[in-house]
């Protein structure tokens, strides 16, 4: 199990990015959170799960849902965090 922080920048607020991320993460059996950040251009994700599932979520984040225009995805390793589910903050 690993925990990753994923910052997705671009036109990612107001396009159902958080909802779509939660659905994707749940399908991959990931735990964590997703939230809009105050800058208005970034979604922050903390996700815990297998390396393969995290890689698939990161790959999905490169495009996001229809309507999103992803400009940048930054990934960083985090100390392991346990989550019961995946939620929108």
Catalytic residue set: 18, 36
Nearest to 58 by CA among 70, 71, 46, 75: 75
Distance CA 86, CA 68 (A): 21
With beta carbons less than 8 A apart as the criterion, state whether 20 and 76 touch.
no
């Amino acid at each position: 199990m690993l925990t990753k922080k994923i910052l997705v920048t671009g036109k990612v607020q107001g396009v159902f990015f958080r909802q779509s991320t939660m659905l994707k993460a749940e399908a991959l059996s990931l735990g964590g959170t997703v939230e809009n950040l105050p800058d208005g251009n970034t979604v922050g994700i903390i996700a815990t799960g297998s390396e393969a599932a995290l890689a698939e979520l990161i790959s999905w984040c490169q495009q996001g849902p229809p309507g999103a225009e992803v400009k940048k995805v930054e990934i960083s390793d985090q100390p392991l965090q346990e989550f019961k589910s995946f939620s929108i903050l």
